[in-house]
């Protein structure tokens, strides 16, 4: 992948910034996926990740590096993750060469990052959240939450189950 961005390369992002240009730079591991996946306990500045900046970023497509950040947060192999996101191997190679996901792929990446964040809040640690998201759950009819979340409807069910767990509602 000669044209793929380096994991530590700084890039311009559309997230809101305090600079006059309105565009900031950041290093890998500090993007929207990492912010969303760490849940409410993450102490990052909220001005950088507003809903408006997220929508803008999704419309132009997230950098491919965000996909690797998601893989790292979930601690699953890329071979397992990309099919759940609806990305084929050929498409993944094209995206890596271009350096950017398309808007629909970006939206699915953010969907999984938000689920990870909610699971971290409810399960109280990243390790517990990862284990819960990758293990069959009785409240989902024996389905694995990450696999169930391949669709928006499934993701909402996973969020609902996490909410029931958080508030102690029998499932």
Residue 140 lies in a domain: yes
How many domains would you assign to the chain?
1
Is the residue at 1 inside a domain?
no
* CB atoms inside a 10 Å sphere around CB 17: 17
Q: Is residue 144 part of a domain?
A: yes
pLDDT tens-place string over residues 96-142: 999 999 999 999 999 999 999 999 999 999 999 999 999 999 999 99
Q: How far apart are CA 14 and CA 27, in angstroms?
A: 14
Provide the domain limits for residue 133. 11-166
Reading the block at residue 127, the tokens are 């390790």
135 in any annotated domain: yes
Residue 146 is assigned to a structural domain of this protein:
yes
Give the per-residue pLDDT at 169.
Answer: 80
Average predicted confidence (pLDDT) for the chain? 80
State pTM to two decimals: 0.77
Judge whether residue 29 has pLDDT over 70: no
Pairwise CA distance, residues 84 & 150, whole Å: 6
Say if 5 falls within a structural domain: no
Contacts 24+ apart (CB under 8 A), 16-25: 16/47, 16/48, 16/50, 16/52, 16/53, 17/48, 18/47, 24/48
Asked if residue 129 is part of any domain, the answer here is: yes
**Does residue 4 fall inside a structural domain?**
no
Please say if the pLDDT value at position 148 is more than 70.
Answer: yes
């Amino acid at each position: 992948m000669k044209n793929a961005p380096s994991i530590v390369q700084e890039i311009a992002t559309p997230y809101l910034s305090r600079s006059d240009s309105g565009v900031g730079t950041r290093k890998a591991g500090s993007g929207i996926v990492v912010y969303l996946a760490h849940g409410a306990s993450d102490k990052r500045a909220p001005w950088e990740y507003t809903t408006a900046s997220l929508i803008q970023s999704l419309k132009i497509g997230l950098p491919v590096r965000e996909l690797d950040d998601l893989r790292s947060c979930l601690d699953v192999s890329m071979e397992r993750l990309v099919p759940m996101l609806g990305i084929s191997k050929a498409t993944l190679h094209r995206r890596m060469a271009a350096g950017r996901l398309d808007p629909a792929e970006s939206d699915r990446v953010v969907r999984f990052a938000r689920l990870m964040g909610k699971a971290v809040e409810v399960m109280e640690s990243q390790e517990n959240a990862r284990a819960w998201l990758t293990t069959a759950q009785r409240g989902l009819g024996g389905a694995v939450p990450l696999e169930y979340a391949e669709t928006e409807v499934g993701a909402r069910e996973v969020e609902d189950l996490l909410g029931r767990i958080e508030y102690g509602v029998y499932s």
